[in-house]
Amino acid sequence: MIVVSHRGPYRFEPDGRGGWRAHRGAGGVVSALAPLLAGRDDATWVAAALGEGDRAAAAAGMTGTDGGPTLRLLDIPTGLHRMHYDVVSNATLWFLLHGLFDLPRRPRFDRRFREAWEAYAAVNAAFADAVAEVAAPGEEVLVHDYHLALVPQRLRRQRPDLAVVHFMHTPFCDEHEIRVLPVDVAASLCASLAGGPVGFHTERWATAFGRAARAVLGGPSPGVFHATFGPDPVVLAAEVDRPEVRAHLARLEEEVDDRRVIVRSDRIELSKNIVRGFLAFDTLLEDHPEWRERVTFVAMCNPSRESLIDYVAYRQEVEAVVARINDRWRRGSWTPILFDARDDHARSLAAFVRADVLLVNPVRDGLNLVALEGPLCNRRDAVLCLSREAGAFELLADGALEVHPFDVLQTAEALARALDMTPGERASRAARLRAAARGHPPESWLAALVERARRATRARGR
């Protein structure tokens, strides 16, 4: 099996003794896929070398960690890579799929964009060529996400024997939003994805893609499917039990004392709606004075995509709103928001364990693993306040409290309701959340993808 994603499972850094230290990659996709493939030494993982450490490790012949997949890191020239990753993947496709464009100003499809689009196609071609070169006859190839949307079509042309499936971890835009893209760009993307099996985490995004592709291409996309990639409860339980996590938990317990705790854990990412989440907390403290000094908001927010100005500006906005709210409400030893921008998974896990309320309020999200992992780690029957625009809402609506991501007052009331909930209701909701979160084990997701890929190859052979 060959896994293809832009970000690889680790980032390498020299360890100072002539070897390499591997750090876990950021974001939901890699953190979910890496444990699933950890024992698969028969698999190959093709990814981009990100940064100097990765490039040097790739040049030195580093091919992975013991017992895991063989890593093949592509060393893409920096300028080309920037246009592929920053301009097209992140500033255009990610914004389109999550509904983030500020349309009176952006996007602008000018000559710079056209150059970047060519770079995007070239990087996709390099990924497809690398796979075509190493794949055994008939091998399964699992391509991930919007960075590599043109890979399936090129691979199908070069190696029709391969069982290729593309999986999008994002939402998909609707048939009106896709009209923002230049006609040929929309057609290339939709044709490549619709030409083979293409999967999404939930039915909503699979349907959205089907509609958008029909609007662009004029016909149906028979290969669209959905398969949810949920957490592995056993792996997660083992992670939570690590001494590092227990140490963080002990420190956190001391910091928050016997106060109630609201937790969020996100990349500092526009689609995660972090600022409105804090504004809702501000409103909660304003409208419900009984909670002042009795609740702490623990926010684990790790910096992301800082090569884009929008993300740098968003981080400043997030930090400014935290400072304003803390200045407004701080009393004695109580700091209303404990904001942590260190990228540390163990701290997030410790916060999930201690949470009384978990806030997940994205403006739009493919799934949102935090919404599934949080309830499985938690030991206090935490209430999940969950955006109806997250893919996870389809699975967890029955146990969660619904949040309207743009409605700050509604979000504040959902937080208040969560804090006030009786122990009985908390317990029964938490049990439903755990049952739903356990229902989508990674192996079933992997099996579904492989089956789709094989079925498509068999159909082509007939």
Q: Which residues of the chain form contacts with ligand G6P (CB under 6 A)?
A: 7, 26-30, 145, 169-170, 304-305
Q: What angle do CA 208, 214, 216 make, to 5 degrees?
A: 105
**Nearest-approach distance from CB 365 to ligand G6P, in angstroms:** 9
Nearer to ligand G6P, 32 or 395 (CB): 32
Where are the extended beta strands (E) located within 227-317? 260-267, 295-302
Residues 408, 356: Cα–Cα separation, whole Å: 20
Structure tokens belonging to residue 398: 């029955």
**Nearest-approach distance from CB 315 to ligand G6P, in angstroms:** 14
Nearer to ligand G6P, 97 or 430 (CB): 97
Q: What angle do CA 387, 391, 343 make, to 5 degrees?
A: 75
Q: How far is CA 249 from CA 259, 334, 355, 356, 404, in A?
A: 14, 18, 11, 14, 30
**Nearest-approach distance from CB 207 to ligand G6P, in angstroms:** 19
Nearer to ligand G6P, 145 or 381 (CB): 145
Nearer to ligand G6P, 149 or 280 (CB): 149
**Nearest-approach distance from CB 442 to ligand G6P, in angstroms:** 15
**Nearest-approach distance from CB 266 to ligand G6P, in angstroms:** 11
The residue with its CB nearest to ligand G6P is 27
**Nearest-approach distance from CB 169 to ligand G6P, in angstroms:** 4
**Nearest-approach distance from CB 304 to ligand G6P, in angstroms:** 5
Structure tokens belonging to residue 333: 């030893």
Nearer to ligand G6P, 170 or 228 (CB): 170
Beta pairing, strands 260-267 & 357-360: parallel
Q: Count H helices and E strands in the chain, helices first.
A: 18, 15
CA atoms within 13 A on the CB side of 5: 23
Percent composition of the chain: helix, strand, coil (DSSP 3-state, to 5):
50, 15, 30
Nearer to ligand G6P, 31 or 326 (CB): 31
Amino acid at the residue 348: S
Nearer to ligand G6P, 146 or 281 (CB): 146
